[in-house]
Structure 1
Amino acid sequence: MPTLRALECFVTVVECGSVTAASVRLHLSQPALSHQLASLESEIGTPLLERLPRGVRPTPTGLAVLADAQAALAAAHRVVDSGRALAGGSRGRLRLACVESMTVPVIAPIVRAWARKYRDVDVELSEHSSADAMADSVTGGASDLAVGPASERFAGQTIDIGTEDIVAVIPEGLDLTDATGVSWDDLRGRPMVHYHSSNGLGVWIDSEAAAHGISPAVSTRTRSATTAAQLAHAGLGIALVPTSALPARFGGVVKPLRPTLSRTVIAMVGSPSDPLVQRFIADLLRRGIPSGRPR
Structure 2
Amino acid sequence: MITVFGSGAFGTALAISLAGNGPVCLWARDAAHADDMRKTRENKARLPGAALPAHVHVTAQMPEMPQEGIGLLAVPTQQLRSFLETHGDALRECHLVACCKGVETGTGLGPTRIIAERVPSAMPAILTGPSFAHDIARGMPTALTLACADVPAGKALQQALTTRNLRLYRTTDTIGAELGGALKNVVAIACGVTMGAGLGESARAAVMTRGYAEMFRMAAALGAEPDTLAGLSGFGDLALTCTSDQSRNYRFGQSLGRNEPFDTSITVEGAATAKAVLEQAKKMEIDMPITDAVVALIDGKLRVGQAMDMLLSRPLKEE
Query: Shorter-chain-normalised TM-score: which range?
Result: under 0.3
TM-score, normalised by the number of residues in structure 2: 0.25
Quick check: which one's helix share is greater?
2
> Which structure is higher in strand share?
1
Highest Rg: 1 or 2? 1
TM-score by length of 1: 0.27
Structure number with greater CO (CA < 8 Å, separation at least 6) is: 1
